[in-house]
Structure 1
Amino acid sequence: MRQSKFLASLTNLVSPETRDTIARLFLTDGRRHWKGYALSFVFMGIMAATTSGLAYLMGTVINRIFVEQNSSAIWLLSGAVFLLSVVKGFSAYGQAVTLAYVGNRIVADNQKKVLDRLLHQDVRFFAGMHTAEISLRFNSGAQAARNVLNLIITSLGRDLLSVIGLTAVMFLQDPVMALIGLGVMPIAVAGVRRLIRKVRKIFEREFHGAVQIMAESIETFQGIRTVKSFNMEDALRARFASRIDSLERASNRMIRAQSQSGPLMEALAGVAIALVIMYAGWSVLHGGRTPGEFFSVITALLLSYEPAKRLGRLNLDLTSQLLGARMLFQVLDMKATEADEPGMPGLKVEGGRIEFEDVTFGYRENEPVLRGLSFVAEPGQTTALVGPSGGGKTTVMNLIERFYDPESGRITIDGQQIERVTRRSVRDNVSYVSQDVFLFSGTIRENIAFGRPSASPEEIEQAARAAHAHDFILSFAGGYDSKVGEHGAQLSGGQRQRIAIARAFLKNAPILLLDEATAALDSESEAEIQKALRTLQKDRTTLVIAHRLQTVVNADRICVVDGGRVVEWGRHDELLARRGRYFNFHQLQFADQRERLLA
């Protein structure tokens, strides 16, 4: 109850959205790390007390030493000032270290939670959000949670307690001087509050501009070959210059708005000090007041200036951090689109029979890719999917791995509907090698080991030999510990493909999906890989997508996919004899090859 009242009083002067965000931060991260924040608050309380003590001692120093000319007071008061300064220094160290430790823990915890939440999203989520935005939410959101809490805690502990203590000193020495010095504070707070709404709007524009620049720069660097191939440098320079100039203007507006509080605070502080000097000077000369009281109040007023200014700017300083905290909560509040229902069984593969029964699916609403597709891939056999681009072949692979779920129809493996078993168990039983190989920016060994992280170095090497990758790996200076670069940029297309095939060998799953797995290889390498793949396909259910028909002529079954349906199926010779869709496709492809050879 006390905590709720405290949060309510803390956030009375801010918008409901800001209040809700701050309250949630205190009730989650703040509550979890309350001991650390309490310790830092104690340190800040000691800092505030020693600062107030130093201001109070100034009056005694002036009166005892300079007015009364008491020589023994020199040593006593000097020692007291030294002791208070040492205590304040150690308290400042303790406060800084404690807050840093707690803040780093909050960042680490939130990054783990955000990563976990993102990994529970399906492929559709990542297809609809740019990498730059995901990265900003992952990094900036976690940092913002720490920064908001630290700003509020330090404002309450260091700044507010210091202002309260120094104000008490001023009232103890001379209540009238204290009222004169503090009389300008309401004006300062009112002036700063007018800037908050303006700063918030500018920052939102600045943030979205920064996201856009980051997104376009990532795409430019990742697509640098295309950029240079099409001589796009000049056009991109002009586009980036426009974006950066716009962001610069927004940043300048932000600086102007935030800096407007500076002249206001400086002017009001000057007014307060001038009024105190006028009153104190008259009181000392004509009112019988001691110089010590005057210097003590002036010292307290000067020492309270910086913490009072920080308190006045608190809402301004929180603006950018609160936006990051809200982005963090947006991720944490997302529903896990790949979460399995509690108690869902795992897939048990005995033979590996895959069956599609009247499956319908589309990536976008009212735009179906599969329209009642049905076929069977028998255990231990190779089933090939052929047909024109856009017919739905790769979508079949995506549905088998449960990257997406069908809108209607059934997909079963050994009679078990894959929507009713855990995704993890489905993917544990599937090895997938695509035409677009993705390698992580680590070593060759690490990339092969993604197939089975617990594999020994000998097993990794055996998988590489089976994929005909061992020899080219050893030709590198670092061997299996050679870096592949970002997205495998330091390897050729054929080398990346063989690393991916080695990864599939190492996983040793009963179901093998090959999506144009040899498309990036030259004829000689393809022949070697085909031998390796034939070994890999033994005793496995293999589903192959191929545009080049010569790679699937020996398949046990060929399914022709066109318009989201299987329009015919059979063996290579059977389909040719029917002179149907496959025959036409075969004639066109081999006619093109003959023309290229004659040319």
Structure 2
Amino acid sequence: MAENSNVAPASKPGWKDGMIFRLLKMGMKRQGKYYALGVVAMIAVASMSALTAWSMQAIVDTMTDPGNRGRVAAVSLMVIAIFAIKGFATYVQSVSMARAGNGIVAQQQRRVYDRLLKQGVDFFNLTESSDLLMRVTHGANAARGLIDLIVTSMVRDLLTLIGLVAVMFYQQPVLSITSIILAPLIFLGIRLILGFVRAIMSQQMAGMAEILKVLQETSTGIRVIKIFSLEKVMNARMEKAVGEVEKRANSMVRLEAITSPMMETLSGMAIAGVVWLSAVNITGGEPTTAGQLMSFVTALLMAYEPAKRLSRMRVSLEGLKMGASMLFELVDRDLTIRESRDAKALKLTEGAVRFEDVSFAYGSGEKAVSGLNLEFEGGKTTALVGESGAGKSTIINLLMRFYDPTSGRVLFDGTDIAGVTFDSLRSQMSFVGQDTFLFSSSVMENIRCSRPEASDEEVMEAARAAHAHEFIEKMPQGYQTPVGENGTFLSGGQRQRLAIARAFLRRARVLLLDEATSALDSVSEGFVKEGLARVSEGATTIVIAHRLSTILEADRIYVLGQGQVLEYGTAAELLARNGAFRRLYDQQFGGVERAERLPE
């Protein structure tokens, strides 16, 4: 069974560090050409930055000898070339890294969505949609940022720093050693900051997920919020969530920014030391020329920015690792239900379904069904009735293989569905439930989704069979009219008739009906029942119903209680036994047996 989404799956030591290598490997495999181009451009930028500092000696020395026009011209052209190459390389770097980064975001979002589609229904039952949204959006962008940070810092910033330090040592070795002697203090400070970053980022992710959760619940439950005057309650929840995120975001800003005063102070101390030492000339060697000193100081000042970015790298890296790990935890979570490796396509002839000693429990709870033996004859209608919690919906879920039995087998025409492909199994079935789901698209697309290759005429034929064509034609854009989010622009009866049209278009051998008319008014129910009668012609139909009037003509009725079969037979046979079905019948019809309710 799926784990709770708030609990990370078991992972090996160093998993997050291994994640970085894994992410780099995946990113380079798909976006390697762009990263390669970006790296070449970064090397050029780093080289030109070092040359800029080195050229300061020639510039200053040339300015002290303006009469040498040839040298002035050569130095001027050199400066133009350095800055032109650096500008072009920076452009190539920016475009290449952006394209690679966008590709990684798209790649990770496709990958994680594909993984989600392979998960079983119970995974989504136990995982909040706001948590999934947070992981898919924030996690993919964090993965991109992680690669960008590593590549940029390790190539551009590190090479730039190395080049500038080389210029410094070339011009003034003693002063260079003095200027970098304080570097260990910086790394010690960064190490202390990292512990706080990890804790804050973990809390930050939870807070952002809570904001998404409140927004989602507000959107879907706005009627309940309005009728029960819960605006203040929801405002308080959002205020708390936003406040927590704001507080932690400010903490992160302080932690990231604290490297600046550290770097500024230590850099100032280093420059002051250099100025003092250059003035007193403690080496006693040849005096430093103005050009050499200017070149050294320029390299030192230019080294400040890449050094500052590198010092912040570990702080930023921890935050991005936390976001990217959320994505990988989702991708690496075990599938709750798997297709057999040697699964075969299911081929139905009669459409007969059988349960053989089937038991099932949700998670570690009590068994929802126990030792069930059921027969659903091909081409006939079988009804499942019983009190809430009797196991009716569990049987439907096992038929659609949303779950696998704990023990026993589910057979279609004698074939165990555990050994068939998901597509071939579900292509043989169609489903109409009480809570009809519609996509936020047009009427045509919502019907056609059950058989994408169907023509417009076939879609309209299905709508006519479901008594939906008439009201669709009266809509502003006919079949191209948007239905809104989950059919919000339609009435309950209209949504249900679209669901029946969708089922009719599927032309499946097995039809599953779960309280398909219980929430409708009498007029809508009449239309829907007539549509269902057409859809079920020749199909193996399995009906769940609390309203007994809808299943009295079923070929067989199973009465369930606490996950077991209490009795079965036709309506007339069950009424004659005066058992569980008779009690349900009397509760609904006031104990009056009306002959007109029973089939002839």
Q: Please tell me the TM-score bracket, short chain as reference.
A: over 0.9
Deviation at 1:281, TM superposition (A): 4.2
Distance in 1, matches of 2:564 and 2:16, equals 53
Read off the aligned partner of 2:278 and give its amino acid letter: A
Q: 2:585 aligns to what?
A: 586
Distance in 1, matches of 2:327 and 2:251, equals 26
SS of equivalent to 2:581: helix
Distance in 2, matches of 1:57 and 1:412, equals 82
| Residues 84-93 or 320-329, more deviating | 320-329
1:463 and 1:503 in contact (8 A); partners too? yes
Report 1:71-110 matches (<5 A): 71-110=69-108
Query: What RMSD over aligned residues (CA atoms) do the two structures have, in Å?
Result: 2.1
Structure 1 residue runs without a partner (length 5+): 1-14, 595-599
Distance in 1, matches of 2:39 and 2:128, equals 41
Q: 1:12 aligns to what?
A: none
Read off the aligned partner of 1:400 and give its amino acid letter: L
Q: 1:356 aligns to what?
A: 355
Structure 2 residue runs without a partner (length 5+): 1-12, 594-600
Report 1:462-501 matches (<5 A): 462-501=461-500
Deviation at 1:21, TM superposition (A): 2.5
Partner residue of 2:132 out of 111, 131, 134: 134
Distance in 2, matches of 1:312 and 1:108, equals 30
Read off the aligned partner of 1:260 and give its amino acid letter: I
Report 1:540-559 matches (<5 A): 540-559=539-558
Read off the aligned partner of 1:485 and give its amino acid letter: G
Read off the aligned partner of 2:155 and give its amino acid letter: G
Deviation at 1:592, TM superposition (A): 9.7
Distance in 1, matches of 2:257 and 2:455, equals 60
1:500-533 per-residue CA deviation (whole Å, 9 max, x = no partner) reads: 1111011110100011112232211211221221
SS of equivalent to 1:52: helix
When residues 593 and 229 of structure 1 are mapped into structure 2, their CA distance, relative to the original with a 3 A threshold, is farther
When residues 35 and 528 of structure 1 are mapped into structure 2, their CA distance, relative to the original with a 3 A threshold, is closer
| Residues 353-362 or 423-432, more deviating | 353-362
Read off the aligned partner of 2:520 and give its amino acid letter: L
Read off the aligned partner of 2:585 and give its amino acid letter: H
Deviation at 1:428, TM superposition (A): 0.7
2:205 and 2:323 in contact (8 A); partners too? no
Deviation at 1:216, TM superposition (A): 3.0
**Structure 1-normalised TM-score?**
0.92
Deviation at 1:18, TM superposition (A): 4.7
2:356 and 2:372 in contact (8 A); partners too? yes
When residues 46 and 592 of structure 1 are mapped into structure 2, their CA distance, relative to the original with a 3 A threshold, is farther
Report 1:171-570 matches (<5 A): 171-283=169-281, 288-570=287-569
1:333-358 per-residue CA deviation (whole Å, 9 max, x = no partner) reads: 23333332222222111111112223
Distance in 2, matches of 1:400 and 1:535, equals 22
| Residues 427-436 or 375-384, more deviating | 375-384
When residues 465 and 245 of structure 1 are mapped into structure 2, their CA distance, relative to the original with a 3 A threshold, is same
Q: 1:9 aligns to what?
A: none
Distance in 2, matches of 1:512 and 1:315, equals 57
Deviation at 1:130, TM superposition (A): 0.7
1:398-423 per-residue CA deviation (whole Å, 9 max, x = no partner) reads: 11000011112222111112222222
Distance in 1, matches of 2:535 and 2:66, equals 99
Distance in 1, matches of 2:394 and 2:511, equals 15
Read off the aligned partner of 1:244 and give its amino acid letter: V
Deviation at 1:69, TM superposition (A): 5.1
When residues 592 and 86 of structure 1 are mapped into structure 2, their CA distance, relative to the original with a 3 A threshold, is farther
Deviation at 1:63, TM superposition (A): 1.0
Read off the aligned partner of 2:512 and give its amino acid letter: L
Deviation at 1:263, TM superposition (A): 0.8
Q: 1:48 aligns to what?
A: 46
Deviation at 1:74, TM superposition (A): 3.2
Distance in 2, matches of 1:504 and 1:516, equals 15
Read off the aligned partner of 1:200 and give its amino acid letter: R
Distance in 1, matches of 2:159 and 2:316, equals 19
Distance in 2, matches of 1:281 and 1:482, equals 82
Distance in 1, matches of 2:16 and 2:412, equals 51
SS of equivalent to 1:453: coil
Read off the aligned partner of 2:240 and give its amino acid letter: S
2:101 and 2:148 in contact (8 A); partners too? yes
Partner residue of 2:21 out of 6, 23, 27: 23
1:49-91 per-residue CA deviation (whole Å, 9 max, x = no partner) reads: 1111111111111111135653443332222111111111110
Distance in 2, matches of 1:167 and 1:482, equals 67
Distance in 2, matches of 1:162 and 1:364, equals 56
SS of equivalent to 2:143: helix
Deviation at 1:16, TM superposition (A): 4.3
Paired residue total = 579
Distance in 1, matches of 2:388 and 2:224, equals 22
The answer to whether 1:146 aligns with 2:144 is: yes
1:117 and 1:334 in contact (8 A); partners too? no
SS of equivalent to 1:513: strand
1:30 and 1:149 in contact (8 A); partners too? no
| Percent of aligned positions that are identical | 43
